[in-house]
Amino acid sequence: MKRNYYDLDDGEFAAAMAASAFAICSLEENAGSQYQKKTRGPVIWPTEAEIMTITPTTNDKMQNGISRGSRKAENEADVWEKAQIAKIRKRHDELLSALFAWENEKKMMAKQQMERRKNQLELAMKRNLQHYKNKLARIDHIAKGARTQAEEKRRYEESIVKEKSNKMRLTGNGPVTCFCF
């Protein structure tokens, strides 16, 4: 069975993956969509000069908030806030979706492994039971043979005793015992 380096039993890998996915998504969002290519190519990060040019314009809008366009600035701020919150929620949903997919895959693999082990155990139990039954049959066969032999030996010994007793009746002599040293 192939075991990947990331197939750990504990949650360290999952936490690391979630953290790295979150960090990548955060970096992409902070960089802004105007600096990213839409293809799967490398991400182009803004230079310091570009950041400097972006920052003063936003600060200028905030400083002039009480002026004639304060309503417009508040509306723009509300729109921007809603857009950013929507982006955050979308990114969060995608991250949760990826985590759920990973979790479900790991649970499914664990369940399959448990089922495989359960089937192996059942097969081993069946083999063990068959081995036990074979041993009992062999023991029964041996015991039956031994009983038969013992019965035959008893009958043979009884027949010898009966023959001797018949001879003693015919001759009138008792059994001969020898005390020879």
CB 6 within 8 A of CB 13: yes
27 token code pair: 């970096």
User: Which H or E run includes 144?
Assistant: helix 70-171
The string of DSSP letters for 9-50 reads: SSSHHHHHHHHHHHHHHHHHHHH-GGGS-SSSS---PPPHHH
How many beta carbons lie within 10 A of that of residue 52, not counting itself? 10
Q: Which residue has the higher pLDDT, 12 or 66?
A: 12
Task: Band the pLDDT of 96: cuts 50, 70, 90.
Answer: very high
Query: What is d(CA 19, CA 5) in angstroms, rounded to the nearest whole number?
Result: 18
Least reliable range by pLDDT among 44-48, 75-79, 160-164: 44-48
Least reliable range by pLDDT among 17-21, 81-85, 149-153: 17-21
Residue with tokens 């701020």: 77
pLDDT at 177: 67
Query: What is d(CA 83, CA 119) in angstroms, rounded to the nearest whole number?
Result: 53
Residue with tokens 């029964």: 140
Least reliable range by pLDDT among 5-14, 26-35, 60-69: 60-69
Mean pLDDT along residues 115-124: 97
pLDDT at 53: 46
pLDDT at 34: 47
CB 95 within 8 A of CB 15: no
Task: Band the pLDDT of 72: cuts 50, 70, 90.
Answer: confident
Largest CA distance in the chain: 154
| Mean pLDDT of the chain, nearest integer | 78
Query: What is d(CA 176, CA 76) in angstroms, rounded to the nearest whole number?
Result: 134
pLDDT at 56: 47
Task: Band the pLDDT of 180: cuts 50, 70, 90.
Answer: low
Query: What is d(CA 83, CA 76) in angstroms, rounded to the nearest whole number?
Result: 10
Residue with tokens 């920052």: 55
User: Which H or E run includes 85?
Assistant: helix 70-171
Helix or strand or coil: residue 73?
helix
pLDDT at 24: 74
33 token code pair: 């969509």
